[in-house]
Amino acid sequence: MNPDSGSTRTVEVIRVGTIGLDKDYPGKQVVRLRDLSELYEGASLQGIKAVKAVIAKYKRKVRKTYQAPRDVGLIDRMMMDALKNPGANATVKNLAKMQKAAELVETTVVYYDPTKLAYAIPALQRAVEDLYARLRGKRLAGINVDVWDQISGAYLGPRNTDRHGTLILPTDETFVEVLQWKLAGGGYSDCFNGERAAGMPGLAFYFHCNEDAGSTIKSFLGVSGQQASLPDRWDWYDSGFFARPALRVPQDAEPLQLVGTDPIGRRSFQFLWYCADPGQPRPLFTYSGDAFNLHITDSGVLEGTLFGQVSAQGSTALQAGTWYLIQINTEMVGGWNPTGGPPPYEGAYEYYVTMQVYLGGILELNAVPDEPLSPSLGSGIPGAGNLVSFTGMPDDGFDEIRLLNRELYSSEIVNYATFLKAGRVPGKSQGALGTPGW
């Protein structure tokens, strides 16, 4: 546990096991919290002063003299030099005598009277018991713990340790992957990576659009950590869908561009869109050049297009002044086909692309071409660009913008949005990039 600025408590987290693995996977994680502050920050061990006093009192120093050989290595080198001289027999004999000689050395020997050291044993026992108690730590019984899903920032509510300091973490809850928690009056935990949660979509980026801090929005820490500078004159609604600030589109808005993930494969986008006027046609969403586009038609419905070649329209008449949950699933597979393209079939980039758009969790349109499509001339190779753009007409709004690196199934779309909405608790699910636990 990392203590905050107002606490010096050091807490050890011990994984005890799991609950529910016999029936469901993943299970709840069970950990035990112990306060180890005394180990790292406590005073001297009990009895240590008494032990030191006994040692100092009965320590004895005695001077002793003993014989030690001279510097044998130096004499050996002298003998080797003498042997190199053919007429040095006398010198060699003298050196041999020196090598056998010894010199007297005087030193100090420290010893303790064993009959007196017995006085230190009770104090030493107290010190060992005190050290053991500090290593074992203090059980954090009956402590309130606030828990978040670190990936989305959703607040999962308070938990409480039992009389043994045991904490049960909800890693079996759908859409939860990495937990973070805060002890009451004590600081934030490190990230706790538990068992894989049930159905976590895996976020590539997540912009919650609630800083209301000028010209920058920030992705949640732990996902991509990226920041995006708002284009000129983009503003904030004071109160959006979650009764907190949300992005507002200005007059003649430039696109808000975010760095997405590689579009090859299955991807998902989910965001809240505020419809200012359904009677005005305009683009809303673009992904990977002209590969995937979503816009409003002049008849006030959603329309999706693929490479500008295949399109599909929805049937829901959009209403002014309404927040809509939009879910977009994209799929792109393919690449260079050496026999593709128009005659004489000299090769072309061909991709099977599809796009489903859900409005409020219900399938609104499904764009599925009958054959593979090629990017339009000059648009480049799809997949090489992963920019995501959001636009709209004046007073449109955007919030909770998410890119997921897999598609959300139809059964998950509303549940995921509900999970995030339920986690928007005033004073709990607020924060900016780098704020622990939100």
Contact by Cβ (8 Å): 437, 181: yes
For residues 182 and 163, the model is more confident at 163
Q: What is the pLDDT of residues 246-278, one digit of tens each?
A: 899 998 889 999 988 889 999 999 999 999 999
Q: What is the mean pLDDT of residues 151-157?
A: 78
Best CA proximity match to 247, nearest among 223, 269, 268, 218: 218
Please say if the pLDDT value at position 194 is more than 60.
no
Contact by Cβ (8 Å): 61, 109: yes
- Distance in angstroms between the alpha carbons of the first and the last residue of the chain: 16
170-174, 251-255, 426-430: least confident range: 426-430
What does the pLDDT read at residue 81?
A: 66
What does the pLDDT read at residue 433?
A: 35
Q: What is the mean pLDDT of residues 356-383?
A: 81
Contacts with 316 (C-beta within 8 Å, 6 or more apart), sequence order: 301, 302, 359, 364
3-state helix vs strand vs coil in the chain, percent to 5: 15, 40, 45
For residues 245 and 426, the model is more confident at 245
Q: What is the mean pLDDT of residues 378-389?
A: 67
For residues 20 and 94, the model is more confident at 20
For residues 437 and 31, the model is more confident at 31
Best CA proximity match to 305, nearest among 258, 395, 375: 375
Please say if the pLDDT value at position 432 is more than 50.
no
- Which of the four pLDDT bands, split at 50, 70 and 90, describes residue 90? low
What does the pLDDT read at residue 82?
A: 63
- Which of the four pLDDT bands, split at 50, 70 and 90, describes residue 431? very low
What does the pLDDT read at residue 88?
A: 56
The DSSP code sequence of 338-400 is TT-SSTTT--EEEEEEEEEEEETTEEEEEE--SS-B-PPTTS--TTS--EEEE--STT-EEEE
Instruction: Tell me the pTM.
Output: 0.69
Q: What is the pLDDT of residues 330-355, one digit of tens each?
A: 999 988 888 877 787 778 888 899 99
Contacts with 3 (C-beta within 8 Å, 6 or more apart), sequence order: 9, 10, 186, 187
- Which of the four pLDDT bands, split at 50, 70 and 90, describes residue 97? low
Q: What is the mean pLDDT of residues 273-302?
A: 95
- Which of the four pLDDT bands, split at 50, 70 and 90, describes residue 310? very high
- Percentage with pLDDT > 70 across the chain: 73
